[in-house]
Structures are given as structure tokens and as C-alpha cells.
Amino acid sequence: MTIPGALAELFSLAGQRALVTGASRGLGRAMALALGAAGADVVCASHAPGGAAETASALRALGREAWEVSADLADRDAVLALADAAERAAGRIDILVNNAGTIRRRPARDHAIEDWDLVLRTNLDATFLLAQRLGRAMIERGAGKIINIASLLAFSGGITVPAYTASKHAVAGLTKALANEWARFGVQVNAIAPGYMRTDNTRALREDPGRSSEITARIPAGRWGEPEDLAGAVIFLASRASDYVSGHVLVVDGGWMAR
Ligand SMILES: NC(=O)c1ccc[n+]([C@@H]2O[C@H](COP(=O)([O-])OP(=O)(O)OC[C@H]3O[C@@H](n4cnc5c(N)ncnc54)[C@H](OP(=O)(O)O)[C@@H]3O)[C@@H](O)[C@H]2O)c1
């Protein structure tokens, strides 16, 4: 991917250092590569050690620096240790993409509290802890970009995913709360709400022929999103082009929400 002419500077991430959680696969992998294509060096976080090796080597093939860190983001101490490791590796983090997330599909009446805890800790607590830990240094430097990955379920309730929906509504609210406090320090906090994207997270839906065709029929673009469909949004929110954009939840959904 190349950015032509006068626009290059506005969208360039050259010299910027990003941390992307959940960079092993799916949306996180695609966003890490998009940031790299725009010039950023990237710390790739995965759940298990070695999980983001392929993403890191794809970034190096683009000529970028790439580092790997890992942690179970459902473990608060491990989240903070991951932030330390990321800063040690890259020197500083200018762009934080809080992407890692998990989902448990189970009706509310049977939703186990262990599933609730796992989803809330991974999707929400880790997002707050990483933003707080790395945001402090951004505030001191007077510059930084935090991009949280929300969902269409930051706006509606979904079916049989109560913990996930609660976590994503909270991610949207947290995005605005942090943005309100930190915009004055030159730190922009925004979110991306992806629509129905073709990743492991949505495999169960695609494998259910009824749900799959119901969903596809409601997407004005007429197709599910591919992870690469987030490239433009993440580069925009990570770059100078979005310096006056704060507390926004950018929907990238092929038109689903407008329907
Ligand atoms: N796909 C969609 O349609 C869609 C729509 C809206 C929002 N989202 C959101 O987008 C984000 C990425 O989802 P995806 O679709 O790319 O899903 P995915 O393919 O299932 O990938 C999930 C990522 O999160 C990481 N992860 C999960 N639990 C973790 C934990 N406890 N500790 C550390 N890392 C953990 C995984 O790491 P490992 O590979 O190392 O396990 C993986 O990199 C999530 O926040 C999801 O809620 C997705």
C-alpha cells in the first residue's frame, strides 16, 4: 500500500511506534500490517508466546521494526507487565490499538459468571489498564493515539452474547470518558466499531446457514467485511489526519448501522 503525493505526510506514521493487542490473527493482524504499511514500527501482542511471530515477520518484510510481546489479557498483572515489556522493546508507544477480544455465546439465563469475568476482563479491563498505563506517558509527551476496538454491539444488544455486549458498550463509553480528559493534552482516544468481519470471532455465525444469510442480507455492501477493510480507519485514527477527532466511534460495517 502506498499513499501518493501531498497526502502522504498527513497520513504517514513514519517514526511512530504502535502496540497492537491481538496481533496474531484476524483484525489485529490486519491493523498491525496497515499501520506498518503507513510507516509505523509495531509491537505485536499475542496471548501465547510466539503467537504474533508471523505478523512480526510480515512487518519486517515491509521494512518496519517489529517486536513480539505476549500476555493473558484476562490477567490484570500480566496486562501491566505487557505494557512494560512493550515500552522496553520499542522505547515508547505512540499509538495503542486495544484490539484483543473474546466472545462467549450463551443465553443470558445460562451465562456462567466465569465467562462473564473472562470477557469483561479481556475486552474491558485490559483496555482500560493499557490506556491508563501507556496514556500517562502520552500525556507527558503531549501526543498520542489510542484506538479501542468496539463493535456494533456497542450500539445494540446482540443475541446470546450478554457479557460481550456489555463489554463493548463499556468500551465505547470508556473511549469517550478518556477522550474528554485527554484531548487537551494532545492525546486522541477514539474507537472503531467493526461490522460483521470474516474472522475466527464470527466463525460460528458464518457456519450457521440461517444466521449467515440473515446477516448478509442486511449488509448494504452485500458482503461480510474482510480484516483489510479496517486499514483506512486505523491509519486515519493513528495519524495526524485525525488530530481534531476525539471520542468518536467510527463504524466500519458496509452500511449495517445505516439500514
Ligand atoms: N470479527 C468481527 O466481526 C468483529 C466485529 C466487531 C468487533 N470485533 C472485535 O475485534 C477484535 C478482534 O477480533 P477478531 O475478529 O480479529 O477475533 P479473533 O480472530 O478471534 O482474534 C482475537 C484476538 O484476540 C486475542 N485474544 C483473545 N483473548 C485474549 C487474551 N485473554 N489474552 C490475550 N489476547 C487475547 C487473540 O490472541 P491469540 O491468537 O494469541 O489467542 C487474537 O489475536 C475483538 O475485540 C472483537 O471483539 C470483531
| Confidence band, pLDDT 50/70/90 cuts, at residue 5 | low
Three-class DSSP category at 59: helix
**What atom of ligand 1 comes closest to residue 24's alpha carbon?**
43
Gyration radius from the chain CA atoms:
17
Question: Of ligand 1's atoms, which has the minimum distance to the CA of residue 121?
Answer: 31
Q: Atom 34, ligand 1: which residue's CA is nearest?
A: 47
The reported pLDDT for the residue numbered 3 is 58
Residue 88 has pLDDT above 80, yes or no: yes
Per DSSP, which regions of 105-243 are E strands? 144-149, 187-194
pLDDT of residue 8: 86
Tell which atom from ligand 1 comes closest to the C-alpha of 74: 31
pLDDT at 214 over 70: yes
Q: Is the CB of 69 under 6 A from ligand 1?
A: no
- Ligand 1 center to 9 CA (angstroms): 31
Ligand 1 centroid distance, CA of 69 (Å): 16
Cα(11) to centroid of ligand 1, in Å?
A: 26
pLDDT in tens, 33-50: 999 999 999 999 999 999
**Cβ contact 146:245 at 8 Å:** no
State percent of the chain over pLDDT 90: 97
pLDDT (average), residues 139-155: 98
What is the rounded average pLDDT for all residues in the chain?
97
Q: Is the pLDDT of residue 1 over 90?
A: no
Q: How much distance in Å is there from the Cα of 199 to the middle of ligand 1?
A: 9
| Ligand 1 neighbour 44 (Cβ under 6 A) | no
Q: Which domains does the chain have, with CATH numbers?
A: 12-252 (3.40.50.720)
Average pLDDT (184-188) is: 98
Of all protein residues, the one whose alpha carbon is nearest to atom 24 of ligand 1 is 100
246 pLDDT tier (thresholds 50, 70, 90)? very high
Catalytic residue among 164, 182, 196, 236: 164
Structure confidence at residue 6 as a pLDDT band (50, 70, 90): confident
Tell me how far the alpha carbon of residue 22 lies from the centroid of ligand 1, in angstroms. 6
> What integer is the mean pLDDT of 79-106?
98
Contact, 90 vs 41, CB < 8 A? yes
CA distance 57 to 202: 26
| Contact between residue 130 and residue 79 where contact means Cβ atoms under 8 Å apart | yes
Give the closest residue (by CA) to ligand 1 atom 17: 201
Strand order from edge to edge, sheet including 66-70: 66-70, 41-46, 17-20, 95-98, 144-149, 187-194, 249-252
For residue 127, is pLDDT > 80? yes
Q: Look at ligand 1, atom 6, and give the residue with the nearest C-alpha.
A: 151
Task: Kindly give the number of the ligand 1 atom that is closest to the alpha carbon of 123.
Answer: 45
Confidence of residue 66 (pLDDT cuts 50, 70, 90): very high
Model pLDDT, residue 160: 96
What was the pLDDT predicted at 7?
82
164 is catalytic: yes
